Chain A
Amino acid sequence: QSVLTQPPSVSGAPGQRVTISCTGSSSNIGAGYDVQWYQQFPGTAPKLLIYATNNRPSGVPDRFSGSKSGTSASLAITGLQAEDEADYYCQSYDSSLSGVVFGGGTKLTVL
């Protein structure tokens, strides 16, 4: 049972926009801690996609964006491409656990 809750799967057609939610609580996202998002392909390490809730590392396309409201955060992907098919994980800090926490992951399928 992950501290941050994500939908197990989302899907969309090429060119469409999809969002992935990440629900936390008053001790993590709701406490104001930033959210990071990672993209992972099978057999590889996670890759940082979004940091500090809505910032992209160099090289990440601007089709990826993040936002946060209350105890939840979202990752939006616009202009969906086949190469976006991967697992996505949110991550934050939890003050009750005094540590970094991850979501359980969302598998994105491009139809």
Chain B
Amino acid sequence: QVQLVQSGAEVKKAGSSVKVSCKASGGTFSSYSLNWVRQAPGQGPEWMGRTIPMFGITMYAQKFQGRVTITADKSTGTAYMDLSSLRSEDTAVYYCARGPPDTAMVTGMDVWGQGTTVTVSS
């Protein structure tokens, strides 16, 4: 059974960047997509983008285009999410989640990491 294990909490200054990792243990990425979803305090989840490591495909939510970079290292089974030009509104819990490879993700995101809290201070 695949588990996704994320890196620890981060405190960043406004204007800097943060890189969060997500390692698949007990399995591989296979043909799944690896999604990044964030959740600000008291808010609903917000999808940021995804990568399909097997096919080298990456896509981003329009809101984050140009500010987020999602990569994956197939050899180590680790995915990364890099968010730049941080502002206070980026303070949130960031999750990685496994999903299907199809664009509409009809089978949903079935395995989630434990979440990484990113706090942005001015």
- Give the interface of A toward B (CB within 8 A): 2, 33-34, 36, 38, 45-48, 50-52, 57, 89, 91-93, 97-105
Number of residue pairs across A and B with beta carbons under 8 Å? 71
From A2, A57, A97, A101, contact of B110 by CB (8 A): A57
Given A48-B108, A48-B109, is A100 in contact with B47 using a C-beta cutoff of 8 Å? yes
B59 within 8 A of A: yes
Contact B44 A99 (CB under 8 A): no
Contact A104 B43 (CB under 8 A): yes
B113 within 8 A of A: yes
Q: In terms of DSSP, what is the predominant structure of the interface of chain A?
A: strand
Q: In terms of DSSP, what is the predominant structure of the interface of chain B?
A: loop
A104 to B108, CA, bound (A): 17
Interface digits, B42-85 against A, CB 8 Å rule (1 contact, 0 not)? 01111101100000000111100000000000000000000000
Contact A93 B105 (CB under 8 A): yes
What is the chain B residue whose CB lies nearest that of A52? B106
Interface size in chain B (residues, C-beta < 8 A): 27
Interface digits, B102-122 against A, CB 8 Å rule (1 contact, 0 not)? 011111111011110000000
A8 to B61, CA, bound (A): 25
Residues of B within 8 A of A36 (CB): 105, 108-109
